[in-house]
A and B are shown apart, each in its own frame.
Chain A
Amino acid sequence: MSIHRRTFVTALGASLFAAGRARARELSVRVEADRSRLFVGDTLQYRVEITAEDVGRVPEPILPSALDQAFEVQGPFIGSSSHIVATGSRITRRETRTYTYELVPLRAGVFDLRAFVPGPGGTRIASNPLRVEVVGGAQAMAGAGSASAAPQADPTRDVHGFPKPTEPAGDVFVWAAVDRDEVYVGEQVNYTLDVYERNRFVNVQIRNLPSFKDFWTEELPEGQERRESVGGVPYRVHPGLRRALFPQRAGDLVIGSTEAVVGLRRIVRSPEVVVHVRPLPAKGQPKDFRPHNVGDFGIEATVDRRSVQQGEPLTLTVTVRGTGNVRFVDPDPWPALDGLRRYDPTVEVQTRVDLDGAGRMVIAGARRYKFLLIPERSGRLSIPAHSVTFFDPRTETYRTARTKPIEIEVTAGASGTETGEPGTIEQEGPDGEPMALMPIWTGDHLPRGRVREPWLTPKRWTAGMATVPLLVLAGHAVRLARERVLGPADARAAARARRMRRARLDRLATLVEADDRFYAELSALLHEVAVARIGPDAAGLPRDRLRRRLVDVGVPEDEVDRFDALMDACDAARFGGAAAGTVEERRKLAAEARELLLRGKLGRQVLR
């Protein structure tokens, strides 16, 4: 019986425990943070997530008491989601609500940030444990500035040496400061401008930045937004601007105040900043010292090759490197080069921001001069040492850095002659270097005239060139037209020749009276007709061959005989010494010739 009772009690307890467990599973809370270690003033994202199943209303979280004591809390920012979960035959509604807070630790320590939710019966359901370690003041600033920076011992200055405000000044103020109150002319001093705000303002704008008159300025990295405690009051700090300043003159130089507009109408101003600038010490200052050469510099010189041919260019690179106003650092006058012609250099400047041993931001970099050198004679030539003289403010002394001389081997050029073109006029430039440029025009009155385009413009040239083929085409067109209208040119020429021979034949009648011209004309006409009848190759043939050729082309022999007789008569009258005959005889000859040429085959196609 006792066993039964004990079993009953045990079962009852187990069932009650199981029921409680089941109830507890319906409501749970979980917390998380974006990091477990941070510094005073930093911002921690703290998230509480409450999950409830089949619960009418999701309860709000109960935050740990540490938040009230050691943190500034902003939020919560609430989000929620819900969904239906099916487990076997059971369907449940699961709702999740998240509460996100921004926590800013106000003091150092290790804090338990476990949260709770109210459970059934006035109980509290605890979240998972969460421990956060907060590291205190100066260490916090060192961590926020630069991991490589040394820990800052002075609590009134930040990691970069800028003084921090010590007294809170309302809910928003603009803080301006320089990292050093006293510097030399040309020595770097850094300026910072930050906006401190107690609350989150929607719109804060900086305007009317100081002009930094009497300073040469270089931009510095602005850093990140941070939290900072001023006199125990936490502020959110917006970095406004940071500048590296290089004072250009001695005296108390004032950097004016800057305005920040908060919201629409509220204006807050930064304090003015005074920098006491000392002149560079006169003791030990070299003659013609460049005032920009303040800092710590070194110099090096290199050539791209040490063995060249005479007249072949080589590049000499002189680099001044160090910390200071690198952009304007000026080496000492270039040394004279023996046997080398030097051209104006190209100059490159590269700057960067470094941290010095105390964590201060310093401008560093290199100013590089590239010279083109032309060896003018062969042999072993030396490029002397180049130097830069500067004032080192740390040691308060003037120092000079030098390169080592560079030897180059110059072999004779292909021609073996000195450089320089014959026939050019060598001038002396103001720096004493030879110039191969012809002198400028230096007349009293400038001749002038209007710009005149050449007559043969491209358009005119194109038109002229096109005219030639167009004229040729036009000539052909005219010829084709004439042939179409008047017939082929050969036929027209043959007809023209026939007309001319016929005219000569007709003219014989008028020459009968003139004995000396009659026979010559008759002989010439007969010969021309015979040649035309045979062809052009008959020109110049003797009489007997002419006869045979006439027979060959189909002229009857009796006509050839008559032709021969007429030619003989003409020859006898012209060359035989015989009497020229009477007019009647000549008239008879003309009639015979007319009969022969107009009626016989001899004159066919060539006379009619």
Chain B
Amino acid sequence: MGGRTGRWLRMWCLAALVAAIVVMWARPAAADAVDDAMARGAAAYAEGRYEDAREAFEEAASLLGEPNAIVAYNLGTTYAQLGDLGRATYYLTVATDPRTHPTPEIAERARANLNEVRRRAELVAAAEKAQLGRQASWWALLLDAARAPWVGWAALVSGFFALVVWFVRRKIARLARGGLGPAIIVVASVLYVVLGALHGLALRADATAPRGVLLGRTVTVYERPSRHAPEAFQAVGGAEVRIEDRVSGFVRVRLPGNLVGWVPASQVGRLDDLSVSVDAGGGGRSASRTVRAGSAAP
């Protein structure tokens, strides 16, 4: 019995050793390929070969297989140099997304470049009479601000704080006699209700109409989900939109200020799951696939 147990133990140890060696060999190989692609991209960028830089950064993103703040930042900046303001906005926004682990420096650079891209998009909109979205209403701005995670945390903590104070006051008679207790409960309850309602509405808006970014320099927005439909308006790439519906390769988007129309799904990058849809055949009825923001470019 003891001999059989020892044999099994030795086999398990051997298998674990082989697995560890495989894993240790495999990880540096992938890492080198990614770093090589990033180095090639950086060199091409420094020489002004932005198209080569884009290809190299996309190769690095594809090797990584999932969004990475630094790769997204380099891609976004390269797209900005290429004049593709839509993809530049999309990737720079991804680079600021906490899910992609941006360092403070990368996040700051990405925000700065986003501002610059936005400025250029405004110029393109002015020059080509394209839409970047009208002035958003105060309610839309309020909901946009209420989407921040700290608002959700504040509402949650306020609610539980009011609950705890109320409970303690009920149980400890000494605290129940006057003092700031009722005022604290009222203020915390108001914060719970108001912040909670705003944050909840913002989350609901994100769930029913996810956020996205129009890709390309300018995008034709149609009145119906067809390339043969009348053109509703021209939108500038980089315009932030809400994706309200999806029909056979087209998505219905709403720009700030209630400008609504249909665009091919391949021309919208989604910010909720960090993905862009790529038309396999280029047509409205063609099949499409979805790639993550850091894994490939449309």
| Minimum Cβ distance to chain B for residue A370 (Å) | 7
A22 close to B (CB within 8 Å): no
Choose, from A258-266, A271-279, A455-463, A518-526, the stretch at the interface. A455-463
**A462–B200 touching, CB < 8 Å:** yes
B290 close to A (CB within 8 Å): no
B68 close to A (CB within 8 Å): yes
Q: Which B residue's beta carbon lies closest to that of A311? A: B123
A16 close to B (CB within 8 Å): no
Question: Could you say which residues of chain A place their CB within 8 Å of the CB of B103?
Answer: 447
**A465–B73 touching, CB < 8 Å:** no
Q: Number of B interface residues at 8 Å Cβ cutoff, please give it.
A: 63
Q: Which A residue's beta carbon lies closest to that of B197? A: A465
Choose, from A210-218, A468-476, A587-595, the stretch at the interface. A468-476
Q: Which B residue's beta carbon lies closest to that of A444? A: B35
A447–B99 CA distance with the chains assembled, in angstroms: 14
**B120–A343 touching, CB < 8 Å:** yes
A201 close to B (CB within 8 Å): no
Within residues 425 to 457 of chain A, which ones have a CB less than 8 A from any CB in chain B? 429-431, 435-454, 456
Which of A435, A445, A454, A465 has the largest count of B CB atoms less than 10 A from its CB? A465
Q: Compute the total of residue contacts between A and B using a CB distance below 8 Å.
A: 122
The answer to whether A344 and B83 touch (CB under 8 A), given A440-B45, A452-B99, A468-B163, is yes
**B80–A465 touching, CB < 8 Å:** no
**A438–B66 touching, CB < 8 Å:** no
The answer to whether A429 and B48 touch (CB under 8 A), given A450-B66, A462-B200, A464-B156, is yes
A226–B57 CA distance with the chains assembled, in angstroms: 59
**B70–A447 touching, CB < 8 Å:** yes
A315 close to B (CB within 8 Å): yes
A346 close to B (CB within 8 Å): yes
| Minimum Cβ distance to chain A for residue B156 (Å) | 5
Question: Could you say which residues of chain A place their CB within 8 Å of the CB of B115?
Answer: 421
B10 close to A (CB within 8 Å): no
Choose, from B105-113, B246-254, B261-269, B277-285, the stretch at the interface. B105-113
| Minimum Cβ distance to chain A for residue B78 (Å) | 7
Question: Could you say which residues of chain A place their CB within 8 Å of the CB of B42?
Answer: 440-442
| Minimum Cβ distance to chain A for residue B293 (Å) | 10
**A456–B47 touching, CB < 8 Å:** no
| Minimum Cβ distance to chain B for residue A248 (Å) | 23
**B120–A458 touching, CB < 8 Å:** no
A392–B149 CA distance with the chains assembled, in angstroms: 67
The answer to whether A454 and B99 touch (CB under 8 A), given A315-B127, A437-B116, A468-B192, is yes
The answer to whether A435 and B81 touch (CB under 8 A), given A445-B35, A446-B34, A475-B167, is yes
Question: Could you say which residues of chain B place their CB within 8 Å of the CB of A372?
Answer: 123-124, 127
A579–B117 CA distance with the chains assembled, in angstroms: 96
Question: Could you say which residues of chain B place their CB within 8 Å of the CB of A461?
Answer: 152, 156, 199, 203
B231 close to A (CB within 8 Å): no
Question: Could you say which residues of chain A place their CB within 8 Å of the CB of B206?
Answer: 458
Within residues 188 to 229 of chain A, which ones have a CB less than 8 A from any CB in chain B? none
Question: Could you say which residues of chain B place their CB within 8 Å of the CB of A471?
Answer: 163
**B120–A440 touching, CB < 8 Å:** no
Question: Could you say which residues of chain A place their CB within 8 Å of the CB of B155?
Answer: 465
B226 close to A (CB within 8 Å): no
A437–B188 CA distance with the chains assembled, in angstroms: 44
**B127–A456 touching, CB < 8 Å:** no
**B77–A451 touching, CB < 8 Å:** no
B62 close to A (CB within 8 Å): no
**B207–A458 touching, CB < 8 Å:** yes
The answer to whether A451 and B80 touch (CB under 8 A), given A430-B47, A446-B34, A446-B68, is no
| Minimum Cβ distance to chain B for residue A196 (Å) | 39
A143 close to B (CB within 8 Å): no
A465–B154 CA distance with the chains assembled, in angstroms: 11
A-B contact pairs, 30 of them (CB 8 A): A314-B127, A346-B128, A370-B128, A372-B123, A372-B124, A374-B123, A424-B112, A430-B48, A437-B116, A438-B113, A440-B74, A441-B73, A445-B35, A446-B34, A446-B38, A446-B60, A446-B70, A449-B68, A450-B66, A451-B99, A452-B99, A453-B99, A454-B98, A458-B206, A461-B203, A462-B203, A464-B156, A464-B159, A465-B196, A472-B166
Interface residues in chain A, defined as those with a beta carbon under 8 Å from any beta carbon in chain B: 313-315, 343-344, 346, 370, 372, 374, 421, 424, 429-431, 435-454, 456, 458, 461-462, 464-465, 467-468, 471-472, 475
Q: A439-B77, A451-B274 are in contact. List 16 more A-B contacts (CB 8 A).
A: A313-B126, A314-B127, A343-B123, A374-B123, A421-B116, A430-B48, A437-B77, A437-B116, A446-B34, A448-B64, A453-B99, A458-B203, A462-B203, A465-B155, A465-B159, A465-B196
